[in-house]
Amino acid sequence: MARLRWHRLWAMARKEAIQLRRDRRSLILAFLLPVLLLVLFGYAITWDVRDIRTAVLNQDHSASARELLDAFRASGYFSLLRQLSRPEQIAPLLDGASVQLVLVIPPDFSTNLNSGRPAELQAIVDGSDANTATIILGYTRAIVQTYSLRVQGMGQPVVVPVRAEGRVWYNEELSSRNMIVPGLVAVIMMIIAAMLTSLTIAREWERGTMEQLAATPVSRLEVVLGKLLPYVAIGLIDVVLTSLLGVFLFGVPFRGSALLFMGLSALFLTGALGLGIVISALGRSQLLATQIAMIVTFLPGFVLSGFMYSISVMPKPLQLVTFLVPARYFLVVTRGIFLKGVGAEVLYVQGLLMIAFAVLGLLFAVRAFRKELD
């Protein structure tokens, strides 16, 4: 069934390339879209928690209370929006989500502090966004701790018995952009790749040119590979463009080997494009093919690739599902090469997985792609 002759494969690839060249709009989209998306989202999305909208109910108008609030202000993470005068004001503010955090300083705050009894600060956080709430509470805790040590230190030197010295590797300033940009390159390329190819075969079916292809001696494998080749070339150019943007526009470090990166990119693209061909061969009509392509690539690309949600905390069966998402492998590669600067000795695992994915995908594509017109 699957014979492979180089000259026929080459002819098929040339036909596809000519067709692509004539289809100006698709071509422009194929190059412009990834760049546009990366620029847009590289600027727009971030996970850094800044400017936490905070309201304060200060029932103890003392110097120490003001000092504590100054510490919050000086940290740069909180924007103290409102001074409240009554506790009843708290609920409507949190209900309407106009503030994220309410700090309550009770009337006996400074009295307790001055007499050596533990003073109390209440922090009420809007917990609905659990992730943001966790980070907000972390910042709050750190500020309160620093303040306490300073107050206690007034009389005698305070030695903390154990101190954690935290260091962050690969992304020292913990900027979410460094995490998002290499991730976006992987996710965008997966979606674009599947989209590009999912249209090409469905289109041949609808236009009836598939019959002409069937009348030629070209084998199924040659059709699939021939259709793939021009798109791999486009995809590689896209990867280079987006990576350059990431480095020069967004200042994301590129610490690894560019050559290794290109090689692994080619593997990834073959798999992702193969996925698109499987979808289009299954869908037959453009309507169904596009619907399947959107459903299979879009949200899974973002959610199941490890782009934002760690795969390791997902339930085991779902972790297995993530192996069907090609961006999952490539994401490890982009982050590894951009941020960690690791080489083949680490990334060979992902390389092998991507080869397996590409081969299985192509086999499946060839099978699903019935050349016979039944």
Which lies closer to another protein via its Cβ, residue 217 or residue 310?
A: 310
- Least distance (Å) from another protein to the CB of residue 87? 13
Which lies closer to another protein via its Cβ, residue 7 or residue 50?
A: 50
Which lies closer to another protein via its Cβ, residue 202 or residue 366?
A: 202
Q: Which parts of 178-197 interact with another protein (CB under 8 A)?
A: 178-179, 191, 195
Own/partner pairs, 236-240, CB within 8 angstroms, 24+ separation? 236/262, 236/265, 236/266, 236/269, 237/31, 238/30, 238/31, 238/34, 238/35, 238/189, 238/192, 239/185, 239/189, 239/265, 239/269
- Least distance (Å) from another protein to the CB of residue 267? 18
Q: Is 142 in the site for another protein (CB under 8 A)?
A: yes
Q: Is 249 in the site for another protein (CB under 8 A)?
A: no
- Least distance (Å) from another protein to the CB of residue 82? 16
Q: Is 126 in the site for another protein (CB under 8 A)?
A: yes
Q: Is 348 in the site for another protein (CB under 8 A)?
A: no
Q: Is 251 in the site for another protein (CB under 8 A)?
A: no
Q: Is 167 in the site for another protein (CB under 8 A)?
A: yes
Q: What is the contact mask toward another protein in residues 47 to 86, using x (rule: CB under 8 A)?
A: xxxxx-x--------------x------------------
Which lies closer to another protein via its Cβ, residue 92 or residue 211?
A: 92
Q: How far apart are CA 55 and CA 53, in angstroms?
A: 7
Q: How far apart are CA 182 and CA 179, in angstroms?
A: 6
- Whether 151 contacts 119, CB under 8 Å: no
Select the residue interacting with another protein from 2, 4, 45, 74 (CB under 8 A): 45
Phi, psi (degrees; rounded to nearest 5) at 56: -125, 130
Q: Is 96 in the site for another protein (CB under 8 A)?
A: yes
3-state secondary structure of 225: helix
Which lies closer to another protein via its Cβ, residue 140 or residue 219?
A: 140
Segment contacting another protein (CB under 8 A): 139-147, 217-225, 229-237, 355-363?
Answer: 139-147
3-state secondary structure of 371: coil
Structure tokens at 342: 């690791």
224 closest CA partner among 2, 374, 372, 22: 2
Q: How far apart are CA 176 and CA 40, in angstroms?
A: 15
Q: Is 24 in the site for another protein (CB under 8 A)?
A: no
Phi, psi (degrees; rounded to nearest 5) at 82: -135, 145
190 closest CA partner among 115, 105, 299: 299
Question: In Å, what is the CA distance from 368 to each residue of 82, 101, 102, 220, 283?
Answer: 62, 55, 58, 10, 10
- Least distance (Å) from another protein to the CB of residue 52? 9
Q: How far apart are CA 7 and CA 13, in angstroms?
A: 10
Which lies closer to another protein via its Cβ, residue 83 or residue 131?
A: 131
Q: Is 44 in the site for another protein (CB under 8 A)?
A: yes
Please count the residues of this chain forming the interface with another protein, following the rule CB under 8 A.
108
Select the residue interacting with another protein from 15, 66, 82, 340 (CB under 8 A): 340
Q: Is 122 in the site for another protein (CB under 8 A)?
A: yes
Select the residue interacting with another protein from 256, 335, 357, 365 (CB under 8 A): 335
- Least distance (Å) from another protein to the CB of residue 129? 5
Q: Is 212 in the site for another protein (CB under 8 A)?
A: no
Which lies closer to another protein via its Cβ, residue 22 or residue 163?
A: 163
Segment contacting another protein (CB under 8 A): 3-11, 131-139, 251-259, 358-366?
Answer: 131-139
306 closest CA partner among 184, 161, 198: 184
Q: How far apart are CA 153 and CA 147, in angstroms?
A: 10
